[in-house]
Amino acid sequence: NGRGWYLNLQTWREFAQSQKDWHPFPVTMPTNVVLALCAGLRELLAEGIPQRWQRYQTLAARLRAGLQELGFQPLAADSCAAPVVTAARSLPGIPSGQVVQFLEQAHGIKIAGGGLGPLHDVIFRVGLMAPSVSERDIDDVLAALADFKRRVEAKDWP
C-alpha cells in the first residue's frame, strides 16, 4: 500500500487496534525521535498554532516579495504556496546550484538547491520552519541574493 512503518501513525493505530492483545507496538521507535516530537509539540503549543501559522505566513510574504523584486520568481503562485518553504527559480541562464553555493560561501547562509526532474538546477528553496527564523534572517537572505545578482551582472561570479 506504499505506507511506511516507523513514522506512520496510521500504521501504529491499525496494529494497536487489530493486535492489541499480543503486540500493542508495531515498531520500536528510537527514543530520540519520540522526544524530538514531544519537544516540537511543546514549542508549537507554547507559541500557539494560530500564532505560528501567522508567523510563517508573514515571513513567506516578505521573502516572496523580496524574491520577486530581485527577479527570482517563486515557483508556486501566492494563492497556493506553502508558507513553510519557498521555492524560487534562479535567474535566467544561471543554474540554481550556483545560487546555493554563493550564499553558503560568500555569506554563510545555507539554503537548499535542486529540484527533481525538470526542476533540477532550476530552483532553490528557502526554509522558514525553524522557530528561530526571523524577519532579519529573511532580510539577510534577500541581501545575499541581491549581492549574487550584482556579481552575476558584473560577471564577477562564478
SS3 state at 89: strand
pLDDT value of position 27: 65
* Tens digit of each residue's pLDDT, the chain (158 residues): 455 666 777 877 887 788 777 665 666 767 888 899 999 999 999 999 999 999 999 999 999 999 999 999 999 999 999 999 999 999 999 999 999 999 999 999 999 987 889 999 999 999 998 888 999 999 999 999 999 999 999 998 76
Determine the Cα–Cα distance for residues 128 and 151; give it in Å rounded to an integer: 26
Q: What is the pTM of this model?
A: 0.79
pLDDT value of position 95: 95
pLDDT value of position 13: 80
Query: Locate cell 561570479: which residue?
Result: 157
- Distant-in-sequence, close-in-space partners of 74: CB < 8 Å, separation ≥ 6: 64, 67, 68, 81, 86, 87, 88, 89
> 75-111 burial, b if ≥16 CB within 10 A, otherwise e?
eeeeeebebbebbbbbbeebbbbbbbebbeeeeebeb
Nearest to residue 67, comparing CAs of 101, 43, 91? 91
Strands 85-89 and 123-127: antiparallel
Determine the Cα–Cα distance for residues 53 and 113; give it in Å rounded to an integer: 25
